[in-house]
Structure 1
Amino acid sequence: MSLTRSFRRRSLLGLSVAVGAALVATACTTTMPGRAVSVFDDPFKVAGMPATDGPTGLRPNAEAPARHVEGTDGGAIDELGASAISDIEDYWATAYPETFDERFKPVAELISWDANGFDGEFCGDSTYGLVNAGFCYADRTIGWDRGELLPALQRAHGDIGVLMVLAHEYGHAISRLGGLTGKDTPTLVAEQQADCFSGSYMRWVAEDSSQRFSLSTGEGLNNVLAGVISVRDPLLNEGDPDVGFDEHGSAFERLSAFQFGFTDGPSACAGIDLEEIAQRRGDLPVLLPEDQTGELPVSEESVRSMIEAMEVLFEPENPPALSFEPGDADSCADARPSPPASYCPATNTIVVDLDGLEDLSAPTDPDDAGSLAVGDNAAYSVLVSRYMLAIQQERGGLALDNAAAALRTACLTGVATAKLTKEIQTPDGDTIALTAGDVDEAVSGILMNGLAASDVNGDSVPSGFSRIDAFRLGVLGDTPRCFKRFP
């Protein structure tokens, strides 16, 4: 998203730089105001499953690994890797023939190395400095760095972080074995198919079918999604020499692919190709213009411009008022404050705590490989979500203080986000438009604190999966679809 004025250029809405494949994500925690609704109060499920909290990771009495690891030092992290692959193969032993109507063939070998050592080799190359995990197409092996990568994943996410990455790598093996990918398949397609296949396996674990691992559909699955976000493509400018090279997809695209597999199973993954990805991407920007940084500081001026843009896009008969006095939210007769942006139905007023909103937008260190996509649209998406509550209020007949309202708000925020792909001229002479990375910032915020997917009291459903799913429904749909899906 960018903001320009008719008489001068301004700096633009910004994005954090992400990492390449198989690096570390920070654990997902709720750090901002906002309260998750009890799963017992939430009428919605996670992709048809009950929304539950509980243990996530290697089971205390898990079955021993069925696979041997070449090059292992005999340590616990390689034991975890072997358990992960053994479990993934248990799933595909049944799921593969059901999906492809042919016998499943496990990968040939598992290979472990320490990236700090000089004597390892994987897929024909030295493993010195190779902090990664991968599937080798040439000899159908899967390998991982036990010295840096897997321990870092375990520290960031627990055992499920290791499982997530190895499930993705095994997804590449499944795509190749099933004839969905070949040597000429674009990286973008191969990576998102692997994301999808990993999602289908994770569903199996969440269904309590695994003998080795467990995964709750609450914080456990939220943590998995945080890992998916962390391996998004780095943000690039037009003209950057790396544009189009080794492209894996944005966080929004990779989350979508993962959710396809989790929701619809492995048969859905075969539908991911360049045409499908292009349709899913639509008009969402991928690259920043060369003369833009993508950073728009949160200010009273920028907040007013965003509210004006919403009025142009949604044309309410009674536009909400805007207050920059946080105390005004405390006196609302029919809603609790949801700082840093609150909506009061009684007065039809959006109340903004400017300092708090600015805190939401603070970019992470671009050199932090574990960062989520945090930036200015993590703040502006929260502001937009409060405007979407005003749109619901004007429609009439809708509760604004329950789980349906929270997910409806997420969906409508997605609609507004997609509408901003076109430049919006405001009455004050500003031009508002989405820029590359803004959608990733929105989904990161929705996962981290849920404020852009919350009801009028700032309450959100506990499942980040459901919150992001509702937001994506809006991005790829329209306003009527949101009201129909979340009546």
Structure 2
Amino acid sequence: MGPSISPRRLLGVTIGVCSLLIVAACSTTLQGNAVSVFDDPFKVAGLPATDGPTGLRPGAEGPSRDVGGGDGGDIDNLAASAVSDIEQYWETAYPETFDDGFTPVKALISWDANEFDGTFCDEDTYGLVNAAYCYTDKTIGWDRGELLPGLRRAHGDIGVAMVLAHEYGHAVSRAAGLSNDNTKTLVAEQQADCLGGAYMRWVAEDNSPRFSLSTGDGLNNVLAGVISFRDPVMQEGDPDAGFDEHGSAFERISAFQFGFTDGPAACAGIDMREIGQRRGDLPVLLPEDQTGELAIDEESVRSIVDAMGILFTPQDPPALSFDAEAADSCADARPSPPASYCPATNTIVVDLPALQQLGAQDDNGGLATGDNVAYSVLVSRYMQAIQHARGGVALDNAEAALRTACLTGVATVKMSKQVTTPDGNTIALTAGDVDEAVSGMLTNGLAASDVNGESVPSGFSRIDAFRVGVLGDADRCFKRFP
């Protein structure tokens, strides 16, 4: 929130190292049967939401491609297996989608960024901690010394496959004519995210002979990797602002979800106009004199709640309490700390120390952290009050959890314009806040939970519901999640 996260540079040609293990969810998981046939909360883009093996299959067949410059080790073998698997997907998907024959990349190149051992795409590989597709000679290369081992530690074998699926997406995009030398980096990167998502869907459907991907924790971990590749938050006036943009976490996950949900044909729709529609009025740069972080204290919490009252004008605004124990005595809902909503008393109860802890910054180079991880949870409880006031919907089931995520997306966009509260404070969304909300949706699920703090198993579904709200309005949320 304004008066976000510290800038982080991406190394090399396309993406940088990520180094985060996804944390366990704080919310609990809803069990039972979904009501809506159209939007089944217990499915992920039509697939069952399940946990299970993720990564290289035991005894999987080896790679079909040789690696130039490789050392014959496990990392190169894993990377070559991933590329071979990705090519097996595109051998069928490419002609089906683009009505033309599929031509594989010309060669695979490996290097160790710690050694003086060669070049890739006319660039010295010493210090090149990266993986990339080289447009000039149609090769794919990777750093086996730093990047891929880091990805494997953070996200397992599937993290390596995910990055190479993205790089192969660049090759497919160029071959299919979706991009060319004049295509902006922002578009090319999100097309590749989308095409990588299409491959991951094929793996999740159990079609891959080499890799498996569960739609629960496995896919959550893949999404954590996508988030870690977001652009750093910059200030207005930064000389690098707008240069070589790849996209925010929200934008990149959206692109990945297009491919995962609708297949590679959807990726052709990603261009500057479409990205502009997705971005809307969401802030991209921080004002030069701001960090994007709002202190988490009683005054700021009251200001956020007051801003929600101004933006949504409920006839009976919820009360606000900082007595954390009061949530225990609610007659019709269990506590969902650090912010709970009690329908019986129409009260939002905030455990301030716990909210402060949730919104603490952690420059881990992975997920987005900061104030809006916490404030998005607070806003989500206000959205529970909005649902309660509207009536006619349950607050304690899976639809309610995703409806809450959706309405939190609506509220997030509403805050993109500055709101002045009765006490004279101003509240506004700043660059990085949406990425913080998305990270929270993935890791703790609280902003995508029902009145009891329970959410659905899939981070993909939680973020998808939030995106519906960001791109829509409250009525759409109630129709989508009845």
Q: TM-score, normalised by structure 1?
A: 0.95
Indicate the residue corresponding to 2:427 in structure 1. Answer: 432
Rounded to whole Å, the distance in 2 between the matches of 1:468 and 1:92 is: 27
Indicate the residue corresponding to 1:8 in structure 2. Answer: none
Deviation at 1:15, TM superposition (A): 2.5
Indicate the residue corresponding to 2:5 in structure 1. Answer: 15
State how 1:329-344 maps to structure 2 within 5 Å: 329-344=327-342
Deviation at 1:245, TM superposition (A): 1.3
The residue type equivalent to 1:430 in the other structure is N
Rounded to whole Å, the distance in 1 between the matches of 2:195 and 2:369 is: 27
Indicate the residue corresponding to 1:260 in structure 2. Answer: 258
1:278 paired to 2:276: yes
1:89 paired to 2:87: yes
The 1:443–1:18 alpha-carbon spacing in structure 2 relative to 1, beyond 3 Å, is farther
Indicate the residue corresponding to 1:5 in structure 2. Answer: none
Contact 2:25–2:445, Cα closer than 8 Å, also in 1: no
Contact 1:39–1:462, Cα closer than 8 Å, also in 2: no
Among 456, 464, 469, which residue is 1:474 paired with? 469
Rounded to whole Å, the distance in 2 between the matches of 1:259 and 1:60 is: 28
Rounded to whole Å, the distance in 2 between the matches of 1:140 and 1:389 is: 52
Give the paired residue count: 473
Deviation at 1:37, TM superposition (A): 2.1
Among 413, 436, 443, which residue is 1:418 paired with? 413
Indicate the residue corresponding to 1:196 in structure 2. Answer: 194
Deviation at 1:119, TM superposition (A): 1.7
The residue type equivalent to 1:141 in the other structure is T
The residue type equivalent to 1:95 in the other structure is A
Indicate the residue corresponding to 2:22 in structure 1. Answer: 28
Deviation at 1:54, TM superposition (A): 0.5
Among 382, 386, 391, which residue is 1:387 paired with? 382
Among 397, 402, 406, which residue is 2:397 paired with? 402
What SS does the corresponding residue of 1:195 show, helix, strand or coil? helix
Indicate the residue corresponding to 1:7 in structure 2. Answer: none
**Structure 1 consecutive aligned stretches of length 4 or more whose deviation exceeds 6 Å:** 39-42
State how 1:127-276 maps to structure 2 within 5 Å: 127-276=125-274
State how 1:316-327 maps to structure 2 within 5 Å: 316-327=314-325
Indicate the residue corresponding to 2:440 in structure 1. Answer: 445
User: C-alpha offsets along residues 64-101 of structure 1, whole Å, 9 cap, x if unaligned?
Assistant: 11010011111011000010000000000011111111
Deviation at 1:184, TM superposition (A): 1.4
Rounded to whole Å, the distance in 1 between the matches of 2:221 and 2:341 is: 29
Deviation at 1:423, TM superposition (A): 1.2
Indicate the residue corresponding to 1:289 in structure 2. Answer: 287
What SS does the corresponding residue of 1:69 show, helix, strand or coil? coil
Deviation at 1:61, TM superposition (A): 2.0
Contact 1:28–1:226, Cα closer than 8 Å, also in 2: yes
Contact 1:27–1:156, Cα closer than 8 Å, also in 2: yes
Indicate the residue corresponding to 1:6 in structure 2. Answer: none
Q: TM-score, normalised by structure 2?
A: 0.96
Rounded to whole Å, the distance in 1 between the matches of 2:117 and 2:368 is: 36
Rounded to whole Å, the distance in 2 between the matches of 1:467 and 1:196 is: 18
Contact 1:39–1:461, Cα closer than 8 Å, also in 2: no
Contact 1:19–1:231, Cα closer than 8 Å, also in 2: no
Question: Can you give the 5+ residue segments of structure 2 that lack an aligned partner in the other structure?
Answer: 35-39
Deviation at 1:39, TM superposition (A): 7.5
What's the RMSD between the two structures over aligned residues?
Answer: 1.2
Rounded to whole Å, the distance in 2 between the matches of 1:92 and 1:81 is: 17
Identity %: 73
What SS does the corresponding residue of 1:70 show, helix, strand or coil? coil
Question: Can you give the 5+ residue segments of structure 1 that lack an aligned partner in the other structure?
Answer: 3-11
Indicate the residue corresponding to 2:37 in structure 1. Answer: none
Indicate the residue corresponding to 2:122 in structure 1. Answer: 124
